[in-house]
Amino acid sequence: MISFRPLGLLLALTVIAPQLAAAQEAPPANSASATAAQAAGDDDPDRDFNRSQPDFVVVTLPTTLRVPKFKSAFRVTHRFGRPLGQGDFGNLAEDLFGLDSGAQIGLEYRFGLMRGWQVGIHRTSDRTIEFFTQYSLLQQADHGVGLGVIASIDGTNNFKDSYTPMIGVVLSRELGRYGAVYVEPMWVNNSNLLPSELVDDNDTFMVGFGARIRVRPTVYLVGEYMPRTGNTPGVDHGTFGIEKVAGGHSFQLNFSNGFGTTMGQLARGGTASDNWYLGFHISRKFF
Amino acid sequence: MRFRVLMLLVGAAVFAGTTACDEALSDLTGPTPNLEPTFSSIQQEILNTTDSSGRPACITCHNGNPFVPGNFTGAAAYGALVGARTFEKPSLFRVAPGEPDNSYMVHKLEGGPNIVGERMPRGGGPYVTDGQMLVIRRWIAEGAANN
């Protein structure tokens, strides 16, 4: 049986960190300063809509958009199981382009613990649970690029079996108000689900390249490609799509060469380079 | 500043705690928890021992008996397996170093469609488990050393 130490550490982090954040943000001493603090909270620039980075992910890759302190966001993802190249167009249309097939569904919730620091959980319907965190180190307004560090761990069988931790960096460059591009090197440990005695390589190093380009005032084209070295089963993750942003919502229709949405799943690669699957995600910001 | 340092330390501790996530081989090998992808371990756990599932040891039959091909006992075992032509399919080696899929021992233990005679161990099971086969396959894939 696998040790539960990773789960214990993550639980400790999620319990202790909010208290530390609250302790650091001590309440003001009088009502005047409380009002000032409230006004400062309303002026939190993290709450402003960012036209270049309207969401916290491109398709699967994280962006450097920050979750405002004590605010949150929710996302639901779908990857339909029918390859789009299977059968002729008539068959595909009868199956509503894969919507009649089963889907791998993901539910995600993220929360801003303090300015620039977010944590979250993502569960997919193959019973994988991923805990993740991201900390913003640099913002483009001050340094010309956005930079964040990310870490995650996902575990199969409802976080009871194989654990796959990841650590990486998110580097972003906003293109004025017309989108952003991303480079995200990541190291994924234990990406092979077999014991290391039985595999040639148990780690995957991958670099995520992503872009989101605004083509209409609220419409974006998105794309990602993620070459890998080390343990590289399947094919390198690739995806592209179109996205519509409306208020605090974002709706994205995408096409991917696999079902992966957690970093461990992405490290294990897509199914085949000529198999593409329809998917979508809907996200909602609670601020 | 102190808080950021604390945060980085907490993050480092979390990551350090998660980097030892490798699966234990014993979780996979079921009735032979000490089985490893080495010849000595395979000889001890598979060839010589009837395991807790009831799968009989190979040397129950392959012990130098002139009516059973292959003597898998003691020092004779390695030479009788690795690079040794089979009686039933002379075009194949029992163990072809580096090629588990072309090793007749694997075919016989997994009950492949091209085997002659019964799947091993004979008698209808219990057979070598999938986890045990992964270990045997790994030893062959790594060159089937006499280690």
Q: What is the largest CA-CA distance in chain B?
A: 80
Q: What distances in angstroms separate CA A86 from CA A82, A254, B44, B91, one per listed residue?
A: 7, 18, 49, 40
Record: contact B25-A197, CB cut-off 8 A: yes
Predicted confidence (pLDDT) at residue A96 exceeds the cutoff of 90: no
Q: What CA–CA distance (Å, rounded) separates A205 from A209? A: 13
Predicted confidence (pLDDT) at residue A14 exceeds the cutoff of 50: no
The answer to which of A16-25, A48-57, A269-278, B71-80 has the lowest mean pLDDT is A16-25
Q: What CA–CA distance (Å, rounded) separates A76 from A109? A: 9
Please write the tens of the pLDDT for every residue from A142-177: 999 999 999 999 999 999 888 999 999 999 999 999
Report which residue type is found at B74: G
Please write the tens of the pLDDT for every residue from B62-91: 998 888 888 999 999 999 999 999 988 899
Does the structure's ipTM exceed the value 0.85? no
Greater confidence (A38 vs B53) lies with: B53
By the 8 A CB rule, do A279 and A79 touch?
Answer: yes
Q: Tell me the nearest-neighbour CA distance from B67 into chain A, angstroms.
A: 35
Record: contact B15-A151, CB cut-off 8 A: yes
Q: Determine if residue A64 is left, alpha or beta; phi over 0 gives left, psi from -120 to 50 gives alpha, anything else beta.
A: alpha
What value does the mean pLDDT take over residues A182-209?
92
* Predicted pLDDT of residue B20: 59
Task: Confirm or reject contact between B14 and chain A (CB < 8 A).
Answer: yes
Taking CA atoms, what residue in B is nearest to A166?
A: B15
SS3 assignment, position A21: helix
**Phi, psi at residue B133, to the nearest 5°?**
-65, -35
Predicted confidence (pLDDT) at residue A11 exceeds the cutoff of 70: no
Q: Tell me the nearest-neighbour CA distance from B108 into chain A, angstroms.
A: 21
* Predicted pLDDT of residue A118: 96
Residues of chain A neighbouring B24 (CB-CB closer than 8 A):
2, 195
Q: What CA–CA distance (Å, rounded) separates B88 from B104? A: 9
Q: What is the DSSP string of A172-219?
A: EEE-TTSEEEEEEEEEESS-SSS-GGG-S---EEEEEEEEEEEEETTE
Task: Confirm or reject contact between A29 and chain B (CB < 8 A).
Answer: no
Helix (H) or strand (E) segment spanning residue B85 = none
Contact residues, A window 181-220, toward B, CB-based 8 Å cutoff: 189-190, 193-198, 202
pTM: 0.78
SS3 assignment, position B106: helix
Q: Using CB atoms, which residue from A2, A13, A197 is nearest to B36?
A: A197
As a residue count, chain B comes to 147
Residues of chain B neighbouring A9 (CB-CB closer than 8 A):
13-14, 17-18
Q: What CA–CA distance (Å, rounded) separates A287 from A283? A: 12
* Predicted pLDDT of residue B11: 65
Record: contact B23-A162, CB cut-off 8 A: yes
Q: Tell me the nearest-neighbour CA distance from B23 into chain A, angstroms.
A: 5
* Predicted pLDDT of residue A5: 45
Optimal mutation site among B2, B5, B15, B22, interface A, most CBs of chain A within 10 A: B22
By the 8 A CB rule, do A198 and B25 touch?
Answer: yes
Greater confidence (A12 vs A226) lies with: A226
Residues of chain A neighbouring B15 (CB-CB closer than 8 A):
151, 165, 167
Centre a 10 Å sphere on the Cβ of residue A161 and count the other Cβ atoms it contains.
15
Q: What CA–CA distance (Å, rounded) separates B115 from B104? A: 8
Domains and CATH numbers, chain A: 5-286 (2.40.160.40)
* Predicted pLDDT of residue A164: 94
Record: contact A194-B7, CB cut-off 8 A: no
* Predicted pLDDT of residue A42: 64
* Predicted pLDDT of residue A22: 43
